[in-house]
Chains A and B, each alone.
Chain A
Amino acid sequence: MCFQHNFWNLAISGLANGLVYAMIALGYTLVYGVLQLINFAHSEVFMIGGFAGLFLLQHFIGSSEPAHGAASVGYVLLGTVGGAIVGGALAFILERVAYRPLRRRRAPKLAFLISAIGASFFLYNLAGKEFGRDSVSIPQPYTNGTVFTVFGAPVQTYYLVTAAVAIVMLIGLDRLVAVTRLGQGIRAVAQDADTASLMGVNIDRVISQTFIIGGLMGGAAGFLFGLQTGVVFTMGFTPGLKAFTAAVLGGIGNIRGAMLGGLILGVAENLSVACTSTKWSDVFAFFILVFVLLVRPTGILGERLGRSA
């Protein structure tokens, strides 16, 4: 009863959440693919993307009325591109400062993990100190309202914007890894870094580029997320954790797996609360994760960045 009543509502907002998870999850999965490292500071890349979008739109829109038509599209693009660029830049710096020195010294995997956690703590506390500790709303680049309905469930402007940006970026990334020379490099390093290096692939450069690509996706996701909920220095934590879960669910290291995992997680955790209280959503989400991992320990599509995409 309750399920029928809310199904399409929950499915639509779940899809929008899932697309954002997918974009963040790609950052985890790409880096894992080339380095077998979980970049826990990626949630801060996401956060900084939100702040970049916020400052840009604050500067260009200010407190004036929401824009319309072409101007709206322009502002959304501006925020997305700004968030992506700053996210990519931070990811690049992170790799240089927190990981490359460790790689040079052939540090054990655990050292990378601690470095990642340390970088994450440092970055979000720095953001809290510099940008204030209150949640700030991003000036709305469009008037949010119901655009059309699906089986009676309203589809809001925000969901369309998220879907449009996310789908374009996800397809773009998929093609990038599949057909370009850069994508070949990433896949080669993921398959076998030593052999790739013997074949003339510049590993350091590929790793740097992988971080930047992950950062671009994460930063843009931060802006999209912030459009709905506002921006604050702690905003990265929960979405970061969920996206990491999504990456594992789909098969860590697998690009399409991360996308699929994000979508499944977003929709499943939303639908699961149709008949119960909202506080149960995490219980269902992680139940699904544990169940999938019991049946398929490598995730739904398996670990295979090298061969796939």
Chain B
Amino acid sequence: MTKESVVTKRHLILAAPLAIAAVVLAACGGSSGGSNGGSGGGNKPTYKIALQAPLSGGNQQLGLNIAYGVQLAINQANASGSLPFKLAYTQSDDQGSPGAAPSAAQKLIDDSKVVAVVGPVFSGATRAAEPKFSDANLATISPSATAPDLTKHGWKNFARIVVDDNTQGPADADYIAKVLKLHSVYVIDDASGYAQPLAAAFISKAKSDNLTVKHDTATGTTQCQAGNGNAQQYGTVAGKVKNANLDAVFYAGYYCDGALLSKALHSAGYKGKFVSDDGNKDGKYVSQAGASIANGAYSSCACSDITKSTNPAAPTFVADYKALAHQDPSTYSGEGYDVANIFIQIMKGLGSKVTREDIVKALPSVNYVGLTKPVKFTSDGSYDGSAVYMWQVKSGKFEQLGEISQLVTAG
């Protein structure tokens, strides 16, 4: 045995992390090499449409709904064979949190093949990520971020295809006052960047509708990864709600915490109505709260029921979506599909040479008849329209009751 071949235990300990690092590097190199090889197969350049959404965490379903819609649009566009380029899909997980959003955005910005981003999905995450996207001049269209201020920052690269909460909040207030004909409401928000302005818009309209309003904030819980609140707070909140003895609860927040609140209200013996927002409108709200508790709960949404759409393309979309996702299209699935198709339409117009700048420049002139609705943007990137729909849980499923302004007029 030569002296060089003696390997001490200490050397082994040092060598282990190096070996792991080498393996990891090799694996990364291999995968990126693979994708390069794939794109080099044809003469067409490859561009990526990315999604930034909560893809893990307590509210991940709201991101997954959209992810499959985007993927479907990209698959269909590639399969059509009419593109002067190849499209690829990539995603970045921001967990819906403002804390994780900037680094999730950076990951997409650093990928030079990404020319357009669907998302971000949550309002707080959008507010945190957009300064980066704006600096990088990377176009983002959110299928779902509804906080009113998002279009007031002068981000030329940002637009959204849903009405904001200055429309949703007052619509909810009108619904409680004029359709349900109730007189008082307990407003609870989850302290997120989405829920606070929504609650504020709701309260100001509720007061002018002569509703008695009480307001409390129950910070989104760490359990739902929606804030740093404690899941046990809901017992306390429910006790306060029960004692206040008001007709309805309006919850501004997301489904994971919404379900915890509903359960606590139920066990506290609260018998009034439960009304919430688009963040609460997902089947997971029903499964986590339990159908018997969720039944009767209302949620408003700027989204309409795609399975009941009169659009002739809708049934095909529903079938294709199911085949890809193994789930029914849900909240904002159709909107995600539409946003991806808006980008694809812009890119087709640009031909085989697509740059981030050109897509941003094309945003103001978008005029697209989507699956869910015709889409145009106002000068600041807001959606040009006003429809908000009310949904209710019936026999364990969210069902669309109708457009709120029409229900109010009729009621």
A contact residues vs B (CB 8 Å cutoff): 5-6, 9-10, 13-14, 16-17, 20, 128, 133-137, 144-146, 153-154, 156, 158, 225, 228-230, 232, 234-235, 237-239, 242, 270, 273-274, 277-279, 281-282
Contact = CB atoms under 8 A, between A and B. Distances in A.
Contacts of A239: 230-232
A137 B222 CA distance: 16
Interface string B215-242: 1111101111100111111111101101
A17 B231 CA distance: 10
A5 B242 CA distance: 11
B104 interface: no
Nearest to B60: A133
Majority SS at the chain B contact face: mixed
Nearest to B284: A134
A245 to B, nearest CB: 12
A186 to B, nearest CB: 30
Given A5-B243, A9-B243, A238 B230 contact: yes
A234 B231 CA distance: 11
Nearest to B239: A9
Contacts of B221: 238
A5 B240 CA distance: 9
Nearest to A9: B239
Contact of B256 (A17, A135, A274): A135
B288 A137 contact: yes
Contact of A273 (B215, B236, B267): B236
B195 to A, nearest CB: 12
A34 B357 CA distance: 63
Interface in B264-313: 264, 267-269, 284, 288-290
B267 A135 contact: no
Contact of B218 (A154, A237, A279): A279
A10 B56 contact: no
Most chain-B CB neighbours within 10 Å: which of A14, A146, A153, A278?
Answer: A278
A19 B284 CA distance: 30
B217 A278 contact: yes
A249 to B, nearest CB: 16
B375 interface: no
Contacts of B243: 5-6, 9
Nearest to B218: A278
A278 B264 CA distance: 14
Given A13-B235, A144-B267, A229-B232, A279 B191 contact: yes
B84 interface: no
A135 B236 contact: no
B57 interface: yes
Interface in B59-118: 60-61
B230 A242 contact: yes
A277 B217 contact: yes
B53 to A, nearest CB: 14
A158 B215 CA distance: 27
B216 A154 contact: no
A229 B223 contact: yes
Contacts of A278: 216-219, 229, 233, 236-237, 240
B8 to A, nearest CB: 16
A281 B56 contact: no
B252 interface: no
Given A6-B243, A144-B267, A279 B217 contact: yes
B58 A234 contact: yes
A1 to B, nearest CB: 12
B342 to A, nearest CB: 30
A15 to B, nearest CB: 11
Which 4 pairs between the two chains have the least Cβ-Cβ distance? A9-B239, A229-B231, A13-B235, A279-B217
B269 A230 contact: no
A234 B229 CA distance: 12
B222 A238 contact: yes
Most chain-A CB neighbours within 10 Å: which of B222, B259, B288?
Answer: B222
B297 to A, nearest CB: 16
Nearest to B227: A279
Interface string B159-175: 00000000000000000
A44 B223 CA distance: 13
Nearest to B267: A144
B269 A135 contact: no
